[in-house]
Structure 1
Amino acid sequence: MGDILLKKIILIAGPSGAGKTTISDYLYEKYDIPRVLTHTTRPMRVGEKQNVSYHFETDDSFKQLHFFEHVKYGSYQYGSSREALNLAWEKHDLVSLIVDIQGVYSYIKQLGDKVYFLYVTTSTKEELKERLLKRGDDPEKIKERLSGNELNLLPADLKQYAHVIVNDNLNKTKETLNSIISRLEED
């Protein structure tokens, strides 16, 4: 597509169950903003598909990739490859990517003003817990995620970059996203 200088990436981060995938799907369905697929070594969940939900990898195949950033949660690895981002940018000037907080630091450091950062959360941990149970996550893993580093809270030094979305009501969230995309398209 266009000049590399015009390329932008919308980073989506926040706690598990906050609605990151729902937001990414909405951006694609409404605005044709594709999600850059990431890689993981975790098993597929019910309803997920290879090369649609993630690039599901073995430990060995994961080690062969060229990562922009990667992280390990428990015994599973997650990462976004440079190849996947460049491939997405070949077809679209604006793409989205779901990352964790460490990924946000990495992308802001390496891409600067090409990054538009959405921090998605809910108003309560109880709402997150209900959503995780509803999607079929293991109750022990949920407890782990909501108590530790995996909660992905917004650090003070990232607040200046973040556009915070409290995703308690999907219709309000969509209105907020529509406003954000309008501003991005004007830039």
Structure 2
Amino acid sequence: MKKLIIIAGPSGVGKTTISRYLTQKYNIPRVITHTTRPLRSGEQDGVDYYFESADSFRQLHFFEHVKYGSYQYGSSRESLQKSFEKSDIVSLIVETAGVHTYLQELPAQAVFVYLTVSEPAELAQRLEERGDTKSQIEKRLHSPEFKRDLALDDDLLQRAHIIKNDSLDAAKAAIDQLIESLTNV
């Protein structure tokens, strides 16, 4: 059976890093999501995201989409299908608000990984290290979306594999255990 590893957590927690680890170690492709935000330095269209105009974004068939700050983010059915053509296990980075949709629509396939840290103050430093400006960081840390992603509701808590990403090596070890459990079913 095909499996979709859904990765969620607050900004700066390491969602992209863990997704890249899954690709590098296990050849698990990431479902490329769509956004209307501009490219960051070093990002590539079709690799990091599909960077869309507001018009092209509206024409896609989404499982879920959210507004984060002033930009739209969403995961399309087309992109998930492309990824499943490459592998039986794929990963997807979404906001916690989008996790509910996948758990409802793909209950047997969805495996939810929630990344967190012991000290939320650590997230601001990580955002700075990835190149966000001070004003971008302040805006993000005070956004309702960021605050929402710092905690899970009861429904999500029941389905979540919670991984503390205080140490990348420890987080990778927890991911390794999860992948082993998925492939030994």
Q: Which runs of 5+ in 1 are unaligned?
A: 1-5
2:63 is aligned with 1:63? no
AA aligned to 2:169 is N
CA contact (8 A) 2:6 2:93 kept: yes
Counterpart residue number, 2:177: 179
Do the aligned partners of 1:9 and 1:114 also contact (CA within 8 Å) in 2? yes
Query: Which amino acid is 1:105 matched to?
Result: H
> Does residue 1:18 correspond to 2:37, yes or no?
no
Distance 1:164 1:144 in 2: 26
Deviation per residue, 1:46-98 (Å, 9 max, x gap): 01001011000011111111111111112210000001101111221100000
Q: Equivalent residue of 2:114, what SS?
A: strand
* Aligned with 1:126 (options 117, 121, 124): 121
Q: Distance in 2 between matches of 1:7 and 1:124?
A: 35
Aligned residue identity for 2:38: P
| Contact persistence 1:117–1:163 (CA under 8 A) | yes
Q: Distance in 2 between matches of 1:55 and 1:181?
A: 27
Q: Secondary structure at 1:48's aligned position in 2?
A: coil
Equivalent position SS for 1:95 = strand
Residue in 2 that maps onto 1:150: 145
Count, aligned residues: 182
Q: Match of 2:122, as an amino acid?
A: E
Report the Cα distance in structure 2 between the residues aligned to 1:173 and 1:73, rounded to whole angstroms: 26
Residues 172-181 or 142-151, more deviating: 142-151
| Alpha-carbon offset, residue 144 of structure 1 | 2.9
What residue in structure 2 maps to residue 163 of structure 1?
A: 161
Partner deviation per Cα, 1:121-148 (whole Å, 9 max, x = no partner): 1111211000001111132332232233
Letter of the aligned partner of 1:67 in structure 2? F
Which structure 2 residue ranges, 5 or more long, are not aligned?
none
Indicate if the aligned counterparts of 2:29 and 2:86 stay in contact, CA closer than 8 A: no
TM-score, normalising length: structure 1: 0.94
1:77-96 paired onto structure 2 within 5 Å: 77-96=72-91
**Percent of aligned pairs sharing the same letter:** 55
Contact 1:34–1:96, Cα closer than 8 Å, also in 2: yes
Distance 1:161 1:116 in 2: 8
CA contact (8 A) 1:125 1:146 kept: no
Q: Normalized against structure 2, the TM-score is what?
A: 0.95
Q: Distance in 2 between matches of 1:145 and 1:156?
A: 24
Indicate conservation of the 8 Å contact 2:65/2:75, yes or no: yes
Residues 66 and 74, structure 2, Cα contact 8 Å, conserved in 1:
yes
In structure 2, the CA distance between the partners of 1:148 and 1:74, relative to structure 1 (3 Å rule), is closer
Partners of 1:102 and 1:170 lie apart in 2 by 25
Matches of 2:73 and 2:125, distance apart in 1: 24
